[in-house]
A and B are shown apart, each in its own frame.
Chain A
Amino acid sequence: MEKIYAKKNIEKCKLVKTKPETIQFLLNYSKSLDITEAQGIKFETNMN
């Protein structure tokens, strides 16, 4: 039991980073997203 708990805790403390592809997707998403406001309503447009 002791071993199982120890293993789980190590997993929880693991330092991880998001993949570069995910970051690239977010940056592209940000560039393509355009917010337009008309008569107080905000519209999202995604220009790919």
Chain B
Amino acid sequence: MELQIEDSELVRDYISGDEKALEILINKHNQRITSFIYSKVLDRDVTEDIFQDTFIKVIKTLKKGNYSEEGKFLPWVMRISHNLIIDYFRKNKRMPMFEGSDDFNIFSVIGDDKLNAEKQIIKDQISSDLRVLVEELPDDQKEVLLMRIYKDMSFKEISENTGVSINTALGRMRYALINLRKIIEKHNIVLTS
């Protein structure tokens, strides 16, 4: 026959320094408290967290000598876990958590188009390297390239601004790109991420 030690006796032993008494208390009420928490939160991980926090409070209160024994250890522990469950729901109400399912992923709807920090740094580095390379081009080619790429002007607008024909502007752009590639190859520069 299994000997059932009263909670009050175990609590007294624990307060007097018997750590084994705590283990017996936890194991004795484990299923009841865990099932109670789980019935409210319906999540195994959250249940573990609340169970842990409950007993951390129990341990602190007992060790500080703030517990008054009235033969109601289990209802007291249940009350602590109940309050922690309420805290959990209050916190979640302030910060609602959305959990996706297998057929629906929230990030497919709310994802942004921005690059991540690493890709943004690489893009900025490439842009700044390219600006240095553009400076190496002859002035007439550089002028056309800057107007076309950086100012987004049409070849018609470029020809009007530079006083050359559209064909000449197109030719300068072509040579600008060819020369840029030559510079890149010559110096073994890698511009892609």
Interface of A toward B, CB cutoff 8 Å:
11-19, 22-23, 25-27, 29-31, 33-35, 42, 44
In the complex, the chain A residue whose C-beta lies closest to that of B50 is A18
Select which of B19, B31, B52, B60 is within 8 A of A15 by beta carbon: B31
In the complex, the chain B residue whose C-beta lies closest to that of A24 is B23
Within 8 A of A (CB), among B1-53: 19, 22-23, 26-27, 30-31, 33-35, 38-39, 42, 44, 47-48, 51-52
Count of residues in B whose CB is under 8 Å from the partner chain: 25
In the complex, the chain B residue whose C-beta lies closest to that of A28 is B19
Q: How far is the CA of A22 from the CA of B44 in the complex (A)?
A: 12
Complex contact A26–B26 (CB within 8 A): yes
Residues of B with C-beta under 8 A to A12: 39, 42
Complex contact A18–B22 (CB within 8 A): no
Residues of B with C-beta under 8 A to A33: 59-60, 63
Residues of A with C-beta under 8 A to B51: 18, 22
Minimum C-beta distance from B64 to chain A (A):
5
Select which of B19, B30, B56, B65 is within 8 A of A18 by beta carbon: B30
